Every structure is written in C-alpha cells, then in structure tokens.
Amino acid sequence: MNFEFSEEQQMLADMVDRFVADRYAFETRQKIMAGDGGWSRENWSALAELGLLGLPFAEEDGGFGGGGVETMIIMTALGRGLVIEPYLSTVVMAGAALRNAASQEQRAARIPAIIAGSHIMSLAHQEPAMPRHSFDVATTARRAGEGWRLDGCKISVPHGAGADELIVSAQTEAGMALFLVPTKLSGVDVVRATGYDGTPLATMTLADVALPGDALLGEPGQGEAILARVFEETNAALVAEAVGAMRETFDLTTEYLKTRTQFDVPIGSFQALRHRAVDMLIELELSHSMAILAALSLDLPGDQRRKNISAAKVQVGRSGRMIGQEAVQMHGAIGITSEYKVGHAFKRLTAIDALLGDADHHIDLIADADGLAA
Amino acid sequence: MDLDFTAEELAFRDEVRSFFREALPDDLRAKMIERRHLEKDDIVRWQRILNARGWAVPNWPVEYGGQAWSPAQRYIYQEEMALAHAPEGSPFNINMIGPIIARFGTDAQKDRFLARIANLDDWWCQGFSEPGAGSDLAALKTRATRDGDDYVINGQKIWTTQAQHADWMFALVRTDSSGRKQQGITFLLLDMKTPGITVRPIETIDGGHDANEVFFDDVRVPVENRIGEEGRGWDYAKALLGGERSGIARIGLSKERLIQLRALERDLAERGMLTGRERDRLRRKLAEVEVELRALELTQLRVVAADAHGAHAGHAASILKIKGTEIQQRMTELVLELAGPAGLATDAQAQANTAGEGWVEAAAPFYFTMRKVSIFGGANEIQRNIVAKSILGF
Ligand SMILES: Cc1cc2nc3c(=O)[nH]c(=O)nc-3n(C[C@H](O)[C@H](O)[C@H](O)COP(=O)(O)OP(=O)(O)OC[C@H]3O[C@@H](n4cnc5c(N)ncnc54)[C@H](O)[C@@H]3O)c2cc1C
C-alpha cells in the first residue's frame, strides 16, 4: 500500500501545476474561451513542448508509456485550472481508441502528430435519438468496394469543431464499428456549438461519406468492446479532472469564508456555513480516494476494473454536485456570475456527471452486478 | 502508488484471520451475527482468549503487553476482527484507561492495574459526562475536596456505560473552581465498591440498560488513586479522547454488515418475500452505501499510510468519525427496511413469529441504539467544529 507519487510522478505533477499556474489564470481562461475556436493553439503547443501530449502513448509509438496514475496527475491539474484545451478529447479519449484498437500503420500515421500537437482528434458517438449511455447508434456504415460509406448524425462531440479527425461509431452488417473520419472529407459537415461548461462542441452530419478500407478501427462488431474500454479510461480521467475542479472550488470557498464579512464578521464564523464547508471537504476527500482507485484499476481484470471505475464515477457525480451547489450558495450572488471562477467550476462538474454515464447510471451497473466485490 | 498490502502484511492478515476463526467460541459468533446482546461474561471470556494470545491490548506500549504493529497491521487486525464477527472488547479498558495509566500513571498504579485491565479482571467505566456537562465537558461540577490522604467526592455522573458491571471508574472531578473551567479538573480512579456510590440504570430506546446515572455521596478516594497532578485532569482527558485513529471509522464492521445485508436480500428474494421493484430499490441502496464505504475505506487507508510516514493530518480522525458513523447508521436503516413489518415485535413472542431468524427482531433495536454513534465520542457536530477550525484557522 503506497499513496505516494514516485519521483518522476512528483516532477510531472509539479510541471503541470506550474503550467496551469503560469498560463491559466482565470482571466486568461475567459479570454481564451471568448477567442477564435474557443481554445488556445498556443497552449496546446506548450503542452506538446512539455511532452504532456505523449504521456499515455507507448514508447514504441513515440510516447512515454505513462499509465493511469500519470493521467490522473495531469487531469487533476487541468481540472484545477478548468483547462479547456482538447487534452481529454484527443489524448485520453481518441488516444485510448488508438492505443487499444489501431493497427501499427494507423498508429504511426497519427500518434506522432498528436504528440507534436499538430493533430486534433475526438470521438463522435452520441446521437440525437439514442438512449443515453448506450451503444445503440443509428449511424450506418455500408461496404463500398474496398471502402465504406457513412451516413448519420452525431451530437455533443467534444472539441469536434477544431478537430482534424473524428472517431465515429456506426452500425455495419456485422455489428457496430469505429471509423477514422477526417473532418475535411466531402459529405462531412461539422457545426460548432458551445457547451455550458465552455467546452467547444460540435454537431456532425455524415452524408454518404466515402472512406477507404483502412479507416476502420479494429473489426466490424468490435466497436462496443473498444468503446467500453475507451469509456473506462476516459471516465478514470474525468474523475481525476473532477477532483481537481472540486479542490479548486473548495479552496475558493474557504478563502471566501475567511475574507467576506457581513454583520461585521467573516461569514466563516457562522456555524451553519462552517459545518457545510466541512461536509464539502469530506466529499472532496472521498472523491480523491476514488480517483486513485480508478487510476489504479485500469490494469485490473475487466469485471473489477469496470466496477471500480463505475464506483468512482458515482462518487464524483454525487460529490461534484454537492460541492458545486454548496460553493455557489456560500458565495451568494457572486457565485452565479460569469465573472467568477466558482460558477465555471460548478458547470464543469455538472458536465462531468453528464458525460459517459451519470451517477445513477453507474449505480445501476453496480447494483446489477451485486456490488463491488469480485 | 499501489493499493496492495505487502507480503508481510498479507501473511499477518492470514495469521490473524485463522486465529479469529479458530479461537472465537461458536456461541459468541452466533450472538454477534444476530446482533444479540452480549453479557458481561461473553466479553470477559473473549478478552481472556485474546490476552492469552498476546493480542488483548495491541495498541498499548510494548512493555505493558502491547504489540509493535505498524498502522497497517492495526488496521488489518481491526478489520479482521469485525469480519470474523468477534466482539471488540471493552473500549474503556483497552482504549482509554489502560493507555492513560501506561502514560501518566505511577509505577505503583501500573503494577496494580495494567495487567488486570488487559485481562478484564477489573471492569472499568468512564465517569466524565454529567447532566450539565456533555459536549462542554469542562463544565463538570462533581466536587472532590481534599481531606487528609483522601478526596471526598460529591456530585453526579450520567450516561455511564455499564457502570452496573464495573469494578472501577475513572472520573473527572473538580478540585478547584477559581480559574478557567478547564483548570481545576482532576483525574481519579474510584473503586466502585466504595461506600456512598449509587448506580441507577437508565433505559435506552433500544430497550437496553447499559446507561446509568452514578451518584456520589461523600465518597472517599485515596490520593494515591489520582492520575498525575491535581488540577491537570483536563490534559489527561484530552490525551484519552484523542485516542485511537486507525479504527475510528469502523470500516470492518460496516463491511461485515454489508455482506450480511446482501445475503439477507438474496435470501428474502429467493423466498419470494421481496417484489422485483423492492429488490431493485434495495440493491441500488446497497450499491450507494457500498460506494461510500469503499471511498471511506480508501480514505482511511490514506490516513493509515500517512501515519506510517509520521505525517499527521490533524483533522483526519474527525472526518473518518463523521463519515464512518453516518455509514454505520445507514446500514442499520437498511437492515430495518429489510426486516419490514416482521421487525415490529422485538420481545420473546417475536422469536416465535420469525422462526428463529434473530436478525429480524434485532433490526429495530439495532437501528435505535446505533443513533448513539454520532452522539458519543465527540458528537458529530463537535467533530465538524474541530475540522472547521482546522481548515479556516479560526
Ligand atoms: C450510548 C452512550 C453511551 C455513553 N457512555 C458514556 C460513558 O460511558 N461515560 C461518559 O462519561 N459519557 C458517556 N456518554 C455521554 C457522551 O459523551 C455525551 O452524550 C456527549 O458528550 C454529548 O453530550 P450530551 O449528550 O450532553 O449532548 P449535548 O452536549 O447537550 O449536545 C446536544 C446537541 O447539541 C450539539 N452541540 C453541543 N455543542 C455544540 C456546539 N458547540 N456546536 C454545535 N452543536 C453543538 C450536539 O452535537 C448535540 O447534537 C455516552 C453517550 C451515549 C449516547
């Protein structure tokens, strides 16, 4: 049992913390959000220069071979800064699909470019008429000679608008499959939307899009299994990001309790608020523990891995809502203004619960499996 | 980072586990599983079995019979004890007065008391709370006046658990009221057979009689039975209440209860006593509490690991106590819900109704009595005050 970072991990943590502290002051973030594309290519290059974009990729693909703990470290720091660059979309989510399912050629054509910061990717899975958190996509992929033809519509694609290439889930005759779709192809239409949490989103329509044979990731029918794994890795990362956002929220709130005065005393002297701040801390610590569990579960056998990550997503969903709401409440009106960081952290925490299965969804998975024990 | 116990820790766990499996008498295990009341003799018997193994008082200093265990080993010991359905023993003897005498007692007091405390030859009770002094313990008024080589005590204690069984009481009394209320408190050891002591039982909402009022009417206590210096009792009491951190959240107990709850739920469903909808609902509730319990367990392990490094997160014990007691109480709600209307009768007739399923008639008393865990040992509101002060600095 060891909860300490290794020396390298500590250096990594210091490095990302410094990146966030130097480059991601709240005012800077607001400017980036309002700017072109909604995120900063300059910051992205800086992340590439630090080597952070290559972290979870295998050394043979040009990466650093980092595991769950390394991703947790990065995501926690990015969560603290409410960083909106496409780390989760490109490196974690699309990266997981490439790591788990792509051929040597497919990886060689993309991973070095991702690591260099010149290739933005994301995953396009959600659809307008689909039951939430399911694999039941209506997008179709038909065989056409050596290649494929895709038709369908995808929504809420994170960072879809700025992406060079999207991984698209579609039904084939042999079951669901994943396809690598460059966004510039004819028949692909990507319309930008903006998430309430500041994440640039996209709606993507595919109208008879022609793809070559090597656009297929894995085999037809393997899409579900690949996506399940991708979602596990992404959820472990999301949970860590949430812990960062919660810690920032908690720190801002306790600072406010110390400095805001009403009735001639700091509002932190009111017991009603003091006790609620303690409850926020308890939720934060429980979530932190579960982020560690999720990060360390990625290499466990399937059943235990899934359950642990679900449990972490449950904890973070519940705690994130509580901490976000309480932080806003204890700030009073300033808490609901766009000019103040707490509201933005609250929104990101809200979005994290909605992504890839909310707390209730994951509770059902655990309940159906008769609990967390193996 | 990793969550695995070391090979030595695993070997230790196996050793503890097989010892508990073999050494715990069957009748005791059965009582524990059904949450039936333990008699004094049950607890004494078990304590002596542990003592013979050298494990009665592992947290004491080694020279007085303790074990030089790591925080992880202590954690494992506690968890295995709970999973084996073994009783915890008397906290008053093991966690409170023993360590206090070992740390602050005279040589004569150590010789006289420690071995008997460990073997439960003497049963101790805690005389701190008074009608006017609960959370604000320093407001206590029971007076001790010096008369030659004795103190003469007059006043009243309340909520004294198992005073009816006790051979000895450790008590806080007031020897001086002139200064701050934390000053002028003295820590005394009282022989419960001393003339002038009256014990009166208080019935609690579970129907039990473990709580008592204790009255003192000119009770004479020799000065040699004082711990440390006169007027410094508050310091010793604080050391005592600071107590044990590794087991405060009672994770093992809650784990054991969760296993039992799942087994009961399955059994009831198989016998057609739960509708599909009830079953779904229960399973979701069990999943919810299990997630929190897992999160708390890992948080406890983070504290255990930090302790092993000598790092001391000051408010960690309070956080573990708050959440640990909330989870314990949640478990009792779930047992109660499982028992349903069959759990209404809790007297002798109930046993006939439920054909010997002890847990059903024990469910409600268990639920009612477990409300205590967020009240004693520093009420959860007091714990929140402690944490708030630590995070806000005022
Ligand atoms: C089952 C049981 C066994 C016990 N056994 C013993 C024993 O063996 N020996 C012994 O000495 N004592 C014993 N106690 C007493 C126990 O220590 C006290 O109950 C405890 O200290 C609380 O005191 P009180 O009951 O007087 O409640 P009070 O202190 O009157 O508190 C009442 C309520 O007010 C809250 N409150 C009080 N102060 C504050 C504050 N500053 N801020 C916010 N809220 C506050 C409390 O949290 C509680 O909710 C036992 C209690 C129980 C329930």
Q: Is A1 domain-assigned?
A: no
**Least Cα separation, residue A339 to chain B (angstroms):** 25
In this predicted structure, what is the pLDDT of residue B188? 98
Residues A105 and A215 in one domain: no
Domain boundary among A80, A96, A118: A118
Q: Name the residue with tokens 């809420």.
A: A156
Taking CA–CA distances from B300, the nearest residue in chain A reads A289
Which of 2.40.110.10, 3.40.50.300, 2.40.40.20, 3.30.70.20 is the CATH number of B124-231?
Answer: 2.40.110.10
**If you average pLDDT over every residue of chain B, what do you get?**
93
Query: Mutate which of A9, A70, A72, A285 to test chain B, going by most B C-beta atoms within 10 A?
Result: A285
In this predicted structure, what is the pLDDT of residue B244? 55
pLDDT in tens, B7-31: 999 999 999 999 999 999 999 999 8
Who among A279, A285, A366 is closest to B299 (CB)?
A285
Residues A228 and A364 in one domain: yes
Distance from C-alpha of B392 to C-alpha of B221, rounded to nearest angstrom: 44
Pick the catalytic residue: B244, B290, B292, B337? B244
User: How do A216-217 and B168-174 pair as beta strands?
Assistant: unpaired
CATH assignment at residue A154 = 2.40.110.10
Q: How many CB pairs under 8 A join A and B?
A: 124
Domain containing A141 equals 123-220
- Do B284 and A363 make contact, defined as CB atoms within 8 angstroms? yes
- Do A370 and B262 make contact, defined as CB atoms within 8 angstroms? yes
Residues A322 and A292 in one domain: yes
Q: Is A85 domain-assigned?
A: yes
Our answer to whether residue B244 is catalytic in this structure is yes
Q: Count of domains in chain A?
A: 3
Task: Using alpha carbons, select from A227, A218, A210 the residue that is nearest to residue A151.
Answer: A210
| 8 A C-beta contact, residue B113 and residue B102 | no
Residues A174 and A305 in one domain: no
**String of DSSP letters for A49-92:** HTTGGGTTS-GGGTS----HHHHHHHHHHHHHHT--STIIIIII
Domain with CATH 1.20.140.10 in chain B: 249-392
- Do A4 and B1 make contact, defined as CB atoms within 8 angstroms? yes
Is the pLDDT at B92 greater than 80? The verdict is: yes
Residues A96 and A140 in one domain: no
- Do B299 and A289 make contact, defined as CB atoms within 8 angstroms? yes
State which residues of chain A have pLDDT below 70: none
Instruction: Name the pLDDT band for B350 (thresholds 50, 70, 90).
Output: low
Write the residue with the smallest CA distance to atom 25 of ligand 1: B134
Higher local confidence (pLDDT), B360 or B80: B80
Q: Does A275 touch chain B (CB under 8 A)?
A: yes
Share of chain B above pLDDT 70, in %: 95
Share of chain B above pLDDT 90, in %: 83
> Residues 1..20 of B with a Cβ closer than 8 Å to A: which?
1-6, 9
| 8 A C-beta contact, residue B146 and residue B186 | no
Residues A145 and A17 in one domain: no
Q: Does A279 touch chain B (CB under 8 A)?
A: yes
**Least Cα separation, residue B336 to chain A (angstroms):** 20
Q: Average pLDDT, stretch B346-356? A: 65
Is the pLDDT at B349 greater than 70? The verdict is: no
> Residues 66..95 of A with a Cβ closer than 8 Å to B: which?
69
Domain with CATH 2.40.110.10 in chain B: 124-231
In this predicted structure, what is the pLDDT of residue B362? 87
Q: Is A373 domain-assigned?
A: no
**CATH 1.20.140.10 holds for B249-392:** yes
Domain boundary among A78, A100, A118: A118
In this predicted structure, what is the pLDDT of residue B348? 64
Q: Is A332 domain-assigned?
A: yes
Calculate how far, in angstroms, residue B131's C-alpha sits from the geometric centre of ligand 1. 10
pLDDT in tens, B191-231: 999 999 999 999 999 999 999 999 999 999 999 999 999 99
Q: Name the residue with tokens 């006017």.
A: B132
Domain boundary among A204, A220, A236: A220
In this predicted structure, what is the pLDDT of residue B37? 83
Q: Does B295 touch chain A (CB under 8 A)?
A: yes
In this predicted structure, what is the pLDDT of residue A281? 98
Q: Is A63 domain-assigned?
A: yes
Q: CB of B162 closer than 6 A to ligand 1?
A: no
> Residues 180..219 of A with a Cβ closer than 8 Å to B: which?
none
pTM for the full predicted model: 0.96
Helix/strand/coil percentages in chain A, nearest 5: 55, 15, 25
Task: Using alpha carbons, select from B260, B251, B325 the residue that is nearest to residue B294.
Answer: B251
CATH assignment at residue A283 = 1.20.140.10
Calculate how far, in angstroms, residue B134's C-alpha sits from the geometric centre of ligand 1. 5
Residues A186 and A88 in one domain: no
In this predicted structure, what is the pLDDT of residue B356? 57
| 8 A C-beta contact, residue A190 and residue A161 | yes
pLDDT in tens, A301-359: 999 999 999 999 999 999 999 999 999 999 999 999 999 999 999 999 999 999 999 99
Q: Is A211 domain-assigned?
A: yes
Residues A360 and A236 in one domain: yes
Q: Is A374 domain-assigned?
A: no
Q: Does B278 touch chain A (CB under 8 A)?
A: no
Q: Is A321 domain-assigned?
A: yes
Calculate how far, in angstroms, residue A75's C-alpha sits from the geometric centre of ligand 1. 43
Inter-CA distances, B292 with A361, B77, B328, Å: 16, 22, 11
Residues A276 and A335 in one domain: yes
Residues A104 and A212 in one domain: no
Residues A242 and A346 in one domain: yes
